Structures are given as structure tokens and as C-alpha cells.
Amino acid sequence: MVKGTSRRVIVVDSPDPKLFEQAIFIVKNDAFSREGVTSQQVLGEACRIAQGYAARQNQKPPLWRRLSPGTWFAFAAVAAALCLAVWFLLL
């Protein structure tokens, strides 16, 4: 949908080109009308957010998230077998 209003945008080149080429931020109309907010501060915040996103995407997920459902099923089967073995030994 195309509106008849113009928008201010900030285009930030990616700090890590493996993930994305550019980040596009649409700036609120009243962002510069607030006291003490400069265009450099808005640009710096956009760069900080883009770098933070790239840093989070490079982190490896914890081990329990990297295991496949088949591996979890195998762990559960082994645990159930051990529980049954201990239960039969105690009878």
C-alpha cells in the first residue's frame, strides 16, 4: 500500500554481511522535534541496534537446543530402560 506521506529512513550497512546487506529504520515523525535529540544520536542508535542484532545471531544456541528430536527420543528410551532395570532389581 502506498500512502501520500513521506517518511524519513535511516539505511545502515551491515556490520556482518553474511547475515544481511542493510538495515532500514523508519524514523518516527516526531523523533527530531524532541528536545536534545540530534540526528547523530538517532543514527548512532540505529547503528547500535544493527550491531547488537548481528552479534546475537552469531552466538551458538545451547546444546539442548542443537540436539535433534531423535537424539532426545534415544535419551528418553535409555532412561526408561534404566528405570525399568533398577525397578526389576529391587523386586
Tell me the HSE value of 11 on the side-chain side, using a 13 A CA sphere: 3
* Residue 2 grid coordinates: 502506498
d(CA 68, CA 74): 10
β-bridge mates for residue 23, sequence order: 12
For every one of its 91 residues, what pLDDT tens digit does the chain have, with 9 covering 90 and above? Answer: 556 666 788 888 876 677 678 888 888 877 777 777 787 888 888 888 877 776 666 667 777 778 888 998 999 999 999 999 999 888 8
**Residues 6 or more apart whose Cβ sits within 8 Å of residue 26:** 7, 8, 9
The pLDDT value recorded for residue 55 is 66
As a whole number of Å, the CA-based R_g of the chain is: 26
Q: What are the residue boundaries of the structural domains of the chain, listed by start?
A: 1-59, 62-91
